Amino acid sequence: MTDYRFARPGEEDEILDLINAVFSQKARPHDFARLIPKVYAHAGFSRLHAVAEVDGRIRGTVAMLPMEVYMGGAVLHGGYIGSVAVHPRFQNQGHMRALMAMQEAQARKMGLDFMALGGQRQRYAYFGFEKACLGYHFSVTAANVRHALKDVEPARLAPFPESEPDREALYALYEAQPSRCHRSRALFYETLGSYNSTPWAIRDQAGNLAGYLTAIGDDVTELVIRDEALLPGAIRAWMENRKNCTLHCPGWHVRRAAALNAFAEGCRATDSQLLRVLNWENTLGAALSFRHAITPLPEGRRVIRVENAGDLALEVTGETARVSPTDEEPALCLSEKQAASLFFSPLSLLTVRDPLLRCWLPLPLDIPVADQF
């Protein structure tokens, strides 16, 4: 007998044993309490999981972590899907499909604006997800630093500080970013350590705390700094005794992308997430307004029909950008997956023919590694 339900308090150990076993069989050994401590190192995480109970034992699970994404003055509410696992002996029996449907229903009940995840594209295309979320990955080599940053004074890197005032200062720097995911102060350090990341404090030449970076191996996944003029010094310090590294730059961070482009060996524009938009008016409205605030867009108006969302008017006038329902005839009619790719994938630069939309797109929606699940 199979029962699909949300997990109950006290089932944490059984869930953890299942996901550790399933993911360890697929790849390297996994210990989710260490891999994602912001969730699995604390009691009460069972409530996030939809589970398949077969003959009294949990044999499958799909979890969803609620999140808030701040974009300028707007807040988007999302749900990040993770810990998708079915016991090997119970695969190909429809458990994943049933649990994904439960989490989508839960997301709509909660009024979430979008769902996101990382995973194999076609596997999750069946559930309405599409590649999206613009990000840049800059490659930096020792030669780049030796030639282009030779006159730059290196910053100082140190282990993430233990003192409460310093941690408060770094948390305040994170909170001051124009786009970010909500992170509780209590779990800030654990969040930075997600996915075997190591956080480092950045200090200027005078020893003053200037920011932090997180890295997985040699690759920098997040860098927050109080003054972008200090960026070259931070990179020079990081590259000491390293031959190369990759630095992630959010799609919205235009100034940083320009600074890195001045000396980096190369850059890749990526669609780093799989996205399922649930509330197109809210999601497009927040992203278009934030895009306009980053780099003013040309004025104009376009009406686009999105499957299951109706006709939406996207408009930029003066300092205002907005999205609203309309009865006007649409210029484009798109499926939900086509719309996700058009609005949020870097490939829109190659596929869009409309000159106005080419200036507007792609729209920024960034979910840092530390906030993924």
CATH number of the domain that 352 lies in? 3.30.1050.10
Q: Please tell me the predicted confidence (pLDDT) of residue 277.
A: 98
The radius of gyration of the chain from alpha carbons, rounded to an integer in Å, stands at 22
352-369: average pLDDT:
94
pLDDT tens for 256-292 read: 999 999 999 999 999 989 999 999 999 999 999 999 9
Read off φ and ψ for residue 68, nearest 5 degrees. -120, 130
- Tokens 């707007």 locate to 74
Q: How far apart are CA 141 and CA 162, in angstroms?
A: 31
106-128: average pLDDT:
96
Q: How far apart are CA 116 and CA 59, in angstroms?
A: 23
Q: How far apart are CA 156 and CA 233, in angstroms?
A: 8
- Tokens 């906030």 locate to 371
Q: Which domain holds residue 343?
A: 276-367
First vs last Cα of the chain: how many Å apart?
A: 30
What's the half-sphere exposure (Cβ side, CA atoms, 13 Å) at 82? 21
Domain end: 62, 90, 112, which one? 112
167 in a domain, yes or no?
no
Question: Of 365, 41, 28, 69, whose CA–CA distance to 189 is shortest?
Answer: 41
- Tokens 């699995």 locate to 40
Q: Please tell me the predicted confidence (pLDDT) of residue 1.
A: 86
Domain end: 67, 97, 112, which one? 112
Percent of the chain with pLDDT over 70: 100
Q: How far apart are CA 45 and CA 52, in angstroms?
A: 16
Structural domain total, the chain? 2
Q: Please tell me the predicted confidence (pLDDT) of residue 48.
A: 98
Q: How far apart are CA 259 and CA 170, in angstroms?
A: 22
Element (H, E) at 335: none
Question: Of 257, 221, 278, whose CA–CA distance to 77 is shortest?
Answer: 278
Find the largest Cα–Cα distance for the chain.
70
- Tokens 């599409």 locate to 130
Q: How far apart are CA 256 and CA 253, in angstroms?
A: 6
Q: What is the CATH number of the domain that holds 46?
A: 3.40.630.30
Q: Please tell me the predicted confidence (pLDDT) of residue 349.
A: 81
Buried b (16+ CB within 10 A) or exposed e, 50-82: bbbbbeeebbbbbbbbebebbbbebebbbbbbb
DSSP code string of 118-139: -S-HHHHHTTT-EEEEEEEEEE
303 in a domain, yes or no?
yes
282 in a domain, yes or no?
yes
Give yes or no for residue 27 having a pLDDT over 80.
no
Say what the pTM is. 0.93
98 pLDDT tier (thresholds 50, 70, 90): very high
25 in a domain, yes or no?
yes
Element (H, E) at 105: helix 95-110
Element (H, E) at 3: strand 2-6
Percent of the chain with pLDDT over 90: 95
133 in a domain, yes or no?
no
Q: Where are the alpha helices (DSSP H) in 314-354?
A: 336-344, 348-351
Give the three-class secondary structure for 155: coil
Other beta carbons less than 10 A from residue 235's beta carbon: 27
Q: Please tell me the predicted confidence (pLDDT) of residue 91.
A: 93
166 in a domain, yes or no?
no
360 in a domain, yes or no?
yes
Average pLDDT for the chain: 96
Q: How far apart are CA 373 and CA 354, in angstroms?
A: 36
pLDDT tens for 298-356 read: 999 999 999 999 999 999 999 999 999 999 999 999 999 999 999 999 988 888 899 99
Q: How far apart are CA 128 and CA 139, in angstroms?
A: 32
Domain end: 84, 112, 140, which one? 112
Q: Please tell me the predicted confidence (pLDDT) of residue 162.
A: 85
351 in a domain, yes or no?
yes
Q: Please tell me the predicted confidence (pLDDT) of residue 25.
A: 86
Give yes or no for residue 109 having a pLDDT over 80.
yes
The strand pairing partners of 222, in sequence order, are 214
